[in-house]
Chain A
Amino acid sequence: MNEHEIKTLITEMTQEPQPASTIDVARAVRNGHRARRTRSLLQIGAVFATAGLIVGGMSVMATGRKASAPVMTPTGARFDPLVRSADFGWVPKGMTERSVYVGTRYMSLVAGTPNGRPYEFFFPQVGVTLFPVGQRIDSEVVTRMARDIDNKCPHGDQVGDTPRIGGRPTQWVYARDLAGSHCRSTPVELRWQYAAGAWAVAKIEPDAGLANQGVYLRIADNLRVGETAPVSKPFRLTYVPPGLHVIETTDDRSFSTGVKWRTSLDLSADADGPPTRGYPDDKHTPMSIRVEVSPVAAVDPADEDGPLNTTVDGHPAFWKKSGDGWEALRVIGVHGFQVRINAFKAGNGVPLRVLRGLRLLGPDRAAWTTRPVG
């Protein structure tokens, strides 16, 4: 049997009768959204509102709003991941949970209600993403919130100008295909310049029952910008490979439980590159390291990386290495914390070396450091 015959046989094998496919592209989109949000701690954007609630008062709210005067302080062309320069001034009642992600090209604030699940963080329901001066809105960073759509309605969002917030350009983004909207235009995003040439985007999860223009505008009006709150971490890294820069910090915090939180630091050889959040996109991703710390109380026994398969200093751990230079280490119970260190192209054994150089500072935030590297 020669190669040609085997090739023919293999090709013929694919021609045999096939059962009906169970592949669901829409499910991939939904789960992909969730993965972006939770696994990678992803970007931001949040939103709210039930489609049915949204439509009615739209034009009234857009035109009849009393212009308040949020503090608008211009920011630089690049954010410092170790400085939080904005915060919510108001979110709807009950949204006690928070996430803050600060990269060099964007900063995101997210709020949501407790989801009641022991190992999952909340689902984002309200989000604001800010971009530095001169940076265009990157819709890939402003996470599209999962939303049920009505396939009978026309797809494709529309952008419309609206009365200015703070005297600066402001836009609404409308969708016509939200389930329950009867194909009427429904606001799904508010974009405004929070400082000259610096855009912010607010989103509300459509299913949260809060998405009306009044809520959007109140969030925008009350946003506090121009702050210089240093980002603190419960650890200090005494060893990281040379040539790495801090490119993103994340902080998830459940104020409802008080014990569930997760904080991370991303370093990359590309000072302006997108964060890998521990999972490189492909072989072109530069050297990167992610360190994530959370209390053991927030450890998910069914962690996505896989079951525990080794021990480190007597602590149960997960370790994995792939042929492309990716290495992951997750250790549970290090001074009461779970420590996760993912590295890409950093060299063999670097996660363990980073772990050995990790100084944990305890659960009391007052003892955390604003200089987590060095």
Chain B
Amino acid sequence: MSRADDEYTARIQELLPRLRRTAYLLCADWHRADDLVQATITRLYVKWRRARAADNLDAYVRTMLVRQFLGEQRTGWRSRVSVVERTPEPVAAASDVDAGLDVRRALTAVPARQRATLVLRFYCDLTVDQTAEILGCSSGNVKSQTSRGLAALRRILEPASVREEGA
């Protein structure tokens, strides 16, 4: 293994835990998250010469991960899954289901781009502008995606009675 390979491996090992968690939030499936990360770090290796010079490698890889995720949504078998603008009404959640499972179910019900926006904003703690840069869209678009995503999450996570009270 060359020096560059050693450096690549060491840097990836540092980034891997957080990368895997981010991937999991994007796709809500640990196995698919692993596939997503695997594909991302393979692409990263191909681009390593440029990537290693990046000011913020963490951000560079995260961007690749999110784009890989969104790219997979557009192509391949996942593109056959209908992604709707408005989330369907969820099946009433059993009250004894733990919160983590609820959030995961809710996240998967949110359209992919909105989900990516939420993960970048609320897990990666990115600003609107930083999120816009990664997603390749305007800040206004990020704001609207965030708003819609949050609304969708609330719709799914909050009990019907709360929604009715708040209405």
Contact = CB atoms under 8 A, between A and B. Distances in A.
Given A1-B157, A40-B46, A306-B75, A25 B9 contact: yes
A15 B2 CA distance: 35
A11 interface: yes
A149 B118 contact: no
A22 interface: yes
A9 B136 contact: no
A13 B100 contact: yes
A23 B46 contact: no
Contacts of A35: 42-43, 45-46
B84 interface: no
A144 B7 CA distance: 14
A268 to B, nearest CB: 15
Chain B contact residues: helix, strand, loop or mixed: helix
B109 to A, nearest CB: 14
Contacts of B107: 10, 13
B49 interface: yes
A175 B150 CA distance: 54
A81 to B, nearest CB: 20
B46 A9 contact: no
Interface residues of B, number: 48
A286 B51 CA distance: 17
B3 interface: yes
B46 A11 contact: no
Nearest to A22: B34
A364 interface: no
Interface stretch (A26-34, A50-58, A213-221): A26-34
Nearest to B106: A9
A172 B64 CA distance: 37
B3 A13 contact: no
Interface of B: 1-6, 8-9, 12-13, 16, 20-21, 24-25, 30-31, 34, 37-38, 41-50, 75-76, 99-100, 103-104, 107, 118-119, 122-123, 136-137, 150, 153-154, 157-158
Interface of A: 1, 3, 6-7, 9-16, 18-19, 21-29, 31-33, 35-36, 39-40, 139-140, 144, 149, 155-157, 177, 281-282, 306, 323-324
